[in-house]
A and B are shown apart, each in its own frame.
Chain A
Amino acid sequence: DTAVSQTPKYLVTQMGNDKSIKCEQNLGHDTMYWYKQDSKKFLKIMFSYNNKELIINETVPNRFSPKSPDKAHLNLHINSLELGDSAVYFCASSQHSSNTGELFFGEGSRLTVL
């Protein structure tokens, strides 16, 4: 079983549409994240949730809204998609109390906005 799984892995859509990417982790971790990797491969954190509570919210347009129904799931909903939203979005998880600092990443979801 994949520890951190994201769906869909590929998503092609038109400008203006609304789309969601789902993420689930089966590691029993209490903290989940969304990272964005742009076309130049640069990775940057977008959000993090600890036990369903938002703890990091970087400068991200309001069109992006994370939703955490439980601590094993963190979904990313994007409204009114723009061309610049095209990127690979990575979900990750960790155990906040762990002293390793290690994050476990999903395989990424490549979003292409036409």
Chain B
Amino acid sequence: AQTVTQSQPEMSVQEAETVTLSCTYDTSESDYYLFWYKQPPSRQMILVIRQEAYKQQNATENRFSVNFQKAAKSFSLKISDSQLGDAAMYFCAYMNYGGSQGNLIFGKGTKLSVKP
């Protein structure tokens, strides 16, 4: 069975600085998706960034980028120029490609605080 591990329960960053959230996963599959979701206090789950395992190029979305290391099964999220609105729980998630699509396997989350 696939697992997702986020080893940092809490992280803190100064506004305008850069922070990296760690995520490792375990799978025997070769095709899969990886995601970072953000959950602010409003509870809404918001997709931050997505990576297809077959793509070697790291995904980027404005201030958010990932470092995807397939061999190491690592998928870290870098937030540049942190803003107060980035404060939230961040969840790393894995999904098999094909088969039971939609079965997201989540890590336990990292609570990010942003200091003004």
Contacts and interface: CB of A to CB of B under 8 A. Distances in A.
A87 B50 CA distance: 27
Interface stretch (A15-23, A40-48, A59-67, A75-83): A40-48
Contact of A48 (B46, B89, B97, B102): B102
B27 interface: no
B62 interface: no
Interface residues of B, number: 23
Interface of B: 33, 35, 39, 42-47, 50, 52, 89, 91, 95, 97, 100-104, 106, 108-109
Nearest to A96: B101
Category for how many chain A residues contact B: 20 to 34
A60 B32 CA distance: 25
A107 B47 contact: no
A101 B106 contact: no
B91 A103 contact: no
Contacts of A48: 100, 102-103
A105 B106 contact: no
15 contacts: A31-B101, A31-B102, A33-B102, A40-B108, A41-B39, A41-B89, A41-B109, A42-B108, A42-B109, A45-B103, A90-B45, A94-B102, A100-B33, A101-B101, A107-B43
A1 B85 CA distance: 23
Contact of A43 (B42, B50, B106): B106
Contacts of B44: 105, 107-108
A108 to B, nearest CB: 4
A107 B39 CA distance: 10
Contacts of B89: 41
B106 A42 contact: yes
A72 B93 CA distance: 25
B76 to A, nearest CB: 19
Among B39, B45, B46, B102, max chain A CB count under 10 A is at B102
